[in-house]
Amino acid sequence: MTDQTHRLSPAEIQHAIDTKTKPVGALGRIETLAAQIAAFRNNLAPRVDSCVLTIFAADHGIAHEGVSAYPQEVTAQMMLNFLAGGAAANVFAATLNIPVQVVDAGVAGDAIAHPKLISRRIAAGSASSLTGPAMTAAQLAQALAHGADIARTTTADALAFGEMGIANTATASILLHKLSGLSLHHLVGRGTGLTDTALDHKRRILERAAARCPDKMDPDTILAEYGGFEIAMMAGAMQEAAEIGRLVLVDGFIATAAAAAALARAPHIRPAMIFCHRSQEAGHRAALDWLGADPLLDLDMRLGEGTGALLAWPLVRAAAAMLCDMASFESAGISTG
């Protein structure tokens, strides 16, 4: 176990990796990932054996402006599908023995009673950010606190986060625009499959919404004006997970918007974040480039639900295992000269 009073230097970590029984650099980006994990954990042999996926679900008032190809009731229907184990995220998680927990952060309609559902409803969907704030300051504080509480009560070594919410690509686009200063034109994509005409409409709606507020605002004001309950809750969970020493597996476009908000609130948590995949959603590449993030996978996916984070988990676990279990030249008695 590493002495926690001593912070490992990059040189110490690199030496531990370079002296494993392999040519220097032969494991490529797995070595980079291993170095990140060792530095974050301050441990040259960090065990990373368990992961939990938390899916936050909520609805967005801006959906009523026609920015999505699907009706809002799909959010509740998909939440039930997660609870029944029938979604892609459930299938992928089952192959990896990863538990899945589902959180109602603010789904439209009547509250759903289900023994497996974690209810943290803020309201039955956010307000439309086209005409006013998506949520009040009090609602934002509640969402952030609920997210932090969920992270604290999840004991896995790594926490993966997914989401479900009709119109949440619209919300993620405008959040990233306000957080980064990147052009909305480069961030707004087709979401669940908009036609060219519908995509133009989505851009116009988001440009009008963005014009309501100044370009420069603090991250909490941005979240309150333009966020969704599930994105705010995810941001709170990511921030708390990092603060208490858990790795954060960042999924696709919407999760990256939550990560960007968490990083704007607490820039020091960046070492905990592993960006797992590059979404096919138009704005994700631009957002990742702005964050300086090079994700582990690029599989032309754009589903959300935490699916990209799940598929990256074996790489994360393998990188940590390489540090823990792979012999060094010295321990194996192998000559280097």
DSSP letters of 62-121? GGGGS--SS-TTHHHHHHHHHHHT-SHHHHHHHHTT--EEEEEEE-SSSPPP-TTEEE--
Q: Is 305 a catalytic residue?
A: yes
As a dihedral over the C-alpha atoms of residue 74, residue 76, residue 77, residue 79, rounded to 10 degrees, the angle is 120
For residues 241 and 148, give the distance between their C-alpha atoms in angstroms, rounded to a whole number.
7
Helices vs. strands in the chain: H and E counts, helices first: 14, 6
Single out the catalytic residue among 31, 65, 281, 305: 305
As a dihedral over the C-alpha atoms of residue 316, residue 300, residue 234, residue 248, rounded to 10 degrees, the angle is 10
Residues in the chain: 337
For residues 221 and 246, give the distance between their C-alpha atoms in angstroms, rounded to a whole number.
27
Quote the Cα angle for 305-151-290, to 5°.
Answer: 60
Placement of tokens 């704007």 in the chain: 264
For residues 211 and 27, give the distance between their C-alpha atoms in angstroms, rounded to a whole number.
47
**Of residues 66, 54, 56, 109, the one with CA closest to residue 249:** 54
Q: Which two tokens stand for residue 151?
A: 């992270």
Active site residues: 305
